[in-house]
Amino acid sequence: KQEVTQIPAALSVPEGENLVLNCSFTDSAIYNLQWFRQDPGKGLTSLLLIQSSQREQTSGRLNASLDKSSGRSTLYIAASQPGDSATYLCAVTGTASKLTFGTGTRLQVTL
């Protein structure tokens, strides 16, 4: 059974800092990996999708990397802003086309 873990569980940084969120998964037989953002009580917004054959994807201040063989992904956020405060979830799509979510990292960016 696929298990997805995110470290740290919570993170507080001052505005302007660069930061890295980590995601690890136990079964490397994945189709792709997605990073989502969730604001409190809201739905999920897809930030980046990395296909299993890719190493990284970039969107604005966000950069996600994937090392499928070691079961790891990182989400790098540059020049963090208070508006980045949210819970960040990584999720992997397995061969059964099911999305398995990680445990999440709650990010707080302070002024």
Partner 1 sequence: DTEVTQTPKHLVMGMTNKKSLKCEQHMGHRAMYWYKQKAKKPPELMFVYSYEKLSINESVPSRFSPECPNSSLLNLHLHALQPEDSALYLCASSLQTRDRGAKNIQYFGAGTRLSVL
Q: Is 38 left (phi over 0), alpha (psi -120 to 50) or beta?
A: beta
What is the distance of C-alpha 15 from the center of its chain? 19
* Closest to 103 (Cα-Cα) out of 80, 86, 87: 87
Q: Does 93 bind partner 1 (CB under 8 A)?
A: yes
Stretch binding partner 1 (CB under 8 A), from 21-29, 61-69, 75-83, 89-97:
89-97
Judged by CB, which is closer to partner 1: 18, or 58? 58
Specify whether the CB–CB gap between 36 and 89 falls below 8 A: yes
Stretch 5-64 residues interacting with partner 1 (CB under 8 A): 31-32, 34, 36, 41-46, 49, 51-53
Site residues for partner 1 per CB under 8 A: 31-32, 34, 36, 41-46, 49, 51-53, 89, 91, 93, 96-104
